[in-house]
Each structure stands twice: as structure tokens, then as C-alpha cells.
Amino acid sequence: MFAQAAELELRSVSKRYAGQREPAIRELSLTVPAGEVCVLVGPSGSGKTTAMRLINRMIPLSGGDVLLGGRSVLEREPRELRREIGYVIQQIGLFPHLTVGENVATVPRLLRWPKARVAARVRELLQLIGLDPDEMAGRYPAQLSGGQRQRVGVARALAADPPLMLMDEPFGAIDPINRAHLQDEFLRLQATVNKTVVFVTHDIDEAIKMGDRIAILREGGVLAQYDTPTNILTHPADDFVAQFVGADRALKRLSLTTLADLQLIAPNGAPPQPAGERTVTRETTVHDALSMLLAAGGKPLAVTNGNGTVEGLVTLGLVEQLLSEDGAAGGSANGTPASPPEADGAIPRRPGASPAEADRARADGAGANPAGATAQDGLAHAPATRDGSPR
């Protein structure tokens, strides 16, 4: 259903608009590997939208080159090129006088797909984005919520299986709750479609959540840093990046890690926990777990599976350990997971001792009762962050 994704390379790309003294983009070079999400983030006016329009030749380059799948876009006929690049923008995306089905069918029709194939594709895509085709295909954009319109915009952009998707602040006009839903949905969708995506936002939190890599632009379209979310948070290249990601970057990093990535303290037969405010699961982010730990005065939390069985305990000490590792476990710039660092927590591991043995030693100290464990007995091993794990 989705077969195509192509590497995108920007090679010393520059843009100076007619009549402007300063360039909007200055010598921008970066490569997005096929199937990865690159988030372009930066303050208003830093050239994000300009970069998108240069990629699909809506505006001409002043210098440099753009290669899609190794081939210069300058060799391509612009209209034909744009059919191979899905484009999603906020608000004005859909044709108001066409139904949802007709909107989604736009590019397949331009490509003269047979009618039956177009109809099947529309159904398939509407189902993929969670809209019932029978109910939704005949509606007009004005008869949809803002979130539904954005979903249809994404379906339309995906219709002809483009190797590249450009998304310019696609969720910018959506309220925070629906925005979080759309972000989650997009990440699930991307796990299926595996497109090369350039996603523009001015919101660093959205960038951290959505990106395999983040390109931070500053005024004048100068690239300040291009790196994984973990590396941007743990090793900002300069003061501009540090300020842009915010003083709470250590806390933001905890949103990239879930409890599944921590080596939990063994429960040693703790009784099953009824689901409630004091229980968390492996899918809970470390950020949310920390918030609950603090709310409970530092008492360890029981991590349960779906049946309420306690799989392990999480403590303030474990979170502290994760923070003190300072990015050592983050993905490296080429996207391969970094090798696990040796645990260097409060309880030294004997040479040759397996993580499981260390775990048992720790659990003995902690006791079987969640409430009996102290906040200091945590010992974490390599946390695999989202951008460090293979997709």
C-alpha cells in the first residue's frame, strides 16, 4: 500500500527574495534519510516555509540544489515533481467545493488512475486515518471538525504514495488536546507508511515529540543544529539552541523515555495492584512517572501490566540515574543506538555480574514492599530513547 520513501538532500541551499537585502535561507545543507521524520523548527521568519517551497519548486532556488532520491529537483518538471511530494498545510489545505472523497482523490485523478482504483484508494485512506468512508466521503470540508479536516489533508497528501511528505505547521491551528491526538495519530500512521517527512513547527515540544531528527533554524535561515532530539536536549550546540529548547530541557528529555526503557527494581512478589492513581505501566513516560513520584512525596511507584501484576518499581533514584547519564545513551547522529554505558549508580556491579544479578541485589536492599523502598536505591541501566531505538 505504501512502498515509496526517498532520501532528501539539501545542498548549500540559498534563497534571496527579490527586493530583500538579507537572504531568507543561507547555505542550508542537510540530509534526511529515507523514511525518517525531520522536524524543521525555528522562530517566526527563520525561513521554514521558504525551505519547504524551495524543495517542491513552488519558488526558485537562488543557489545550491535539492536532491530527491539522489536526483536534482531542477531536472524535474515542477508540476510533475509536486505530484510526487505530499504537501500538508494548516487551515487552507482542502478544496471547499469538493467532497472529502474528491479531495483525497485529487492526485490519483491527475495521474489518471482508473476510476475503480481511485475509489478503492479513497476508502483505504479514509479508513487509515480513522474516518468511516461511508459516512465521511460525501461530506464537504465545512461539515468537518478542524481535526477531521487536518486528517483528510494528510490522507490527500498520501494518496499517490509520494516518496516525500512536506508538512508546514499542519496542526498549528488545532487546540492543544486535539493537537496531541493528531500528533499521536500521525506517529502511528508514520509507523505504517514510513515516509520521508519534513515537518515544520515553531513549537519545540512538538519537534521533540515528532522528529527522528530536528533541524533548528535561526534568523536568516541559518542552520543552528541538526541532530536527534536527545542530542539537541543534552548537547545544544550553542546558546541560541539552549535558549530555544528552554531551561527545562532536562525535563523535556524525560518525555522521550518510557518506563519500558528503564531497568526497573524487581518487585520480589509484591501483591497485584488495582489500577489507580498510584500505578503506571511500561508505556508511561518517565516525565509523567516523575510527576507522580513527586506528587506522592517520593514513594516508589508500582509498574503494572494489563492484569495489575506488578512488573517492577520505579523510584526517584532511577529517574535521577537517567538524568545523570547526560545523554550517554542517546542515539548518535547517524541514528544508530549508542552502546549501553555501564551502570554507575549507588550499588556498584561486580565485574561479570549480569544486570539481572544486580537487579536482585538491589531488590534485596529495597525489600518486596513498594512503600518500603527508599528513593535512593535506584540503579538504572542504559535507557533506550525513542530516537535511539531502531524504527
Residue type at 26 in one-letter notation? R
Q: How many CA atoms lie within 13 A of 233 on its CB side?
A: 30
The entry of ligand ADP, Mg ion, none that residue 334 binds, CB within 5 to 8 Å by partner kind = none
* Closest listed residue to residue 300, CA positions, set 245, 371, 376, 237: 371
The 3-state DSSP class for residue 23 equals coil
Q: Per CB under 5 A, does 321 bind Mg ion?
A: no
Residue 17 binds which one of ligand ADP, Mg ion, none, with CB within 5 to 8 A depending on kind? Answer: ligand ADP
Shortest CA distance to 55 belongs to which of 88, 21, 39, 78? Answer: 78
Question: Cβ closer to ligand ADP: 211 or 267?
Answer: 211
Write the interaction track for Mg ion spanning residues 16-55; mark x where CB under 5 A is met and - where it is not: --------------------------------xx------
Q: Where are the beta strands (DSSP E) in 19-111?
A: 25-32, 37-41, 63-68, 71-72, 85-89
Site for ligand ADP in 209-238 (CB under 6 A): none
Candidates 47-55, 103-111, 256-264, 355-363: pick the segment binding ligand ADP (CB under 6 A): 47-55
* Beta-carbon count within 10 A of 129 CB: 19
Rounded to the nearest whole angstrom, what is the least distance from the CB of residue 17 to ligand ADP in the complex?
3
Which residue in the set 10, 39, 49, 206 belongs to the binding site for ligand ADP (CB under 6 A)?
49
Q: What is the DSSP letter of 265?
A: B
Q: Residue 225: which of ligand ADP, Mg ion, none does it interact with, CB under 5 to 8 A by kind?
A: none
Out of 5, 28, 32, 50, the only residue in the binding site for ligand ADP (CB under 6 A) is 50
Tell the smallest beta-carbon distance from residue 328 to ligand ADP (Å): 33
Integer-rounded Cα radius of gyration of the chain: 24
Q: Check: CB of residue 318 under 8 Å from CB of residue 265.
A: yes
Sole binder of ligand ADP in the list 1, 12, 17, 175 (CB under 6 A): 17
Sign of the Cα torsion 215, 217, 223, 229 reads: negative
The single residue among 3, 21, 44, 351 that binds ligand ADP, judged by CB under 6 A, is 44
Q: Which chain residues interact with Mg ion by CB under 5 A? A: 48-49
Residues forming contacts to ligand ADP in the complex (CB under 6 A) are: 17, 20, 24, 42, 44-50
